[in-house]
Amino acid sequence: MARRSQQSNPEQLRIQLITLLENFESELKNEDLRSQVIELVPAYRLLYDLGSSLVTENIPAARDRIIYYLKKYPLTIINGEEIMVVAGISEWARRVRELRVQLGWSIITGVSALEMANEGDLEIEGLDVSTMKPDQYMLINTEQDREAAHRWNVANGIRKEKNISVQEKLLKFLRENVGRPVTGEELRYVAGDKSEWARRVRELRTEQGWPIITKQTGMPELPVGTYFLELDRQAPVHDRKIPDSVRGKVLRRDEFTCKSCGWKIDDYNRADPRILELHHKVHHAAGGENTEENLITLCNICHDKLHAEENRKKNGR
């Protein structure tokens, strides 16, 4: 089936629709169901056209009208029915998906919003995203991510892999994108839409020590709902037990800055892909606790140097 022809004058469409519905009064007296249904079909067509004609800019494609509408109201919960109206096609959900996964627009649905909100990865001032329904949508970033098509192909390959856990798939995708932000929707897709994917991501961060950060857990300039694997390396085992709450407080106290060399999270670039780590002043092995007082922020370069120096002293070299 191909695209339908579209008329663009809303007032003309409105009048046509009213005329059609008025004429339908006599059809209602007709007892033949099929005849009634056939008479009503043009009204559905007209309603579709009227909805799409509300976008007064000359945007012929339904997909473009959808993103136009979402960009007009970013960080706003949009009902699926609204999108249906401006799209003016029956398969509007298919178009939303293409915009999201193939064209790189950060459109989240209620399903992923809830998952991310539950893990504290999606906080938007003045908005309770956890109340979003599965058929509600939100554009969280008005900038298109043009690398998304490539990432989508990578994600698709990983998603289809057999005999591999959801967590392993998520980690594999993140490691394919070290130093590049990925969206929660992409992670959900990689996970095969299994629930609890956001929890699996948190476990990778807090229990397995992968430096996966979000707006809330270390990189304030990241867009909401975005995940970022800073470096392809795990934190040492003893550093993996630091609670997120303590980690966040120490990073904020130290202003996301290495207390040795002054490297800041803002200085991050792929040519010098450092990460910020927490160093125990009194070593974990010596009974040092995971408290704010006993932790200090260092970049991984300074952290490694410090431990190497301490080992040299310990070995009398």
Partner DNA sequence: GGAGTCTCAAACTGAATTAA
Partner DNA sequence: TTAATTCAGTTTGAGACTCC
- Reduced to 3 states (helix: H, G, I; strand: E, B; else coil), residue 156 is helix
Best CA proximity match to 279, nearest among 313, 262, 261, 304: 304
Is 64 near DNA (CB under 7 A)? yes
Is 195 near DNA (CB under 7 A)? yes
Beta strand residue intervals within 54-124, DSSP E: 78-79, 106-109
Residue selected from 60, 74, 236, 273 as contacting DNA according to rule CB under 7 A? 60
Binding residues among 96-155 for DNA as defined by CB under 7 A: 97, 101, 109, 111, 134-135
Is 61 near DNA (CB under 7 A)? yes
Is 194 near DNA (CB under 7 A)? yes
Best CA proximity match to 91, nearest among 2, 5, 186, 185: 2
- Pick the piece of the chain touching DNA (CB under 7 A) from 22-30, 190-198, 208-216, 253-261: 190-198
Toward DNA, which CB reaches closer, 62 or 174?
62
Is 191 near DNA (CB under 7 A)? no
Helix ranges restricted to H, 88-231: 92-97, 110-118, 148-159, 166-176, 184-190, 197-206
Give the dihedral of Cα atoms 299, 300, 304, 306; nearest 10 deg.
Answer: 10
Is 259 near DNA (CB under 7 A)? no
Toward DNA, which CB reaches closer, 95 or 280?
95
Handedness of CA 258, 261, 266, 272 (dihedral sign): negative
Q: How far is the CB of 112 from DNA (least distance, A)?
A: 8
Residue selected from 5, 26, 56, 58 as contacting DNA according to rule CB under 7 A? 5
> Going by DSSP bridges, is the β-strand pair 226-229/212-213 parallel, antiparallel, or unpaired?
antiparallel
CA–CA separation, 221 and 160 (whole Å): 33
Is 42 near DNA (CB under 7 A)? no
Is 41 near DNA (CB under 7 A)? no
Toward DNA, which CB reaches closer, 27 or 64?
64
Q: Quote the tokens at residue 119.
A: 């893990």
Contacts of 56 (CB under 8 A, 6+ apart): none
Binding mask 202-241 for DNA (x = CB under 7 A): ----------------------------------------
| Site residues, DNA (CB under 7 A) | 1-5, 60-64, 80, 89-91, 93-95, 97, 101, 109, 111, 134-135, 156, 159, 189, 193-195
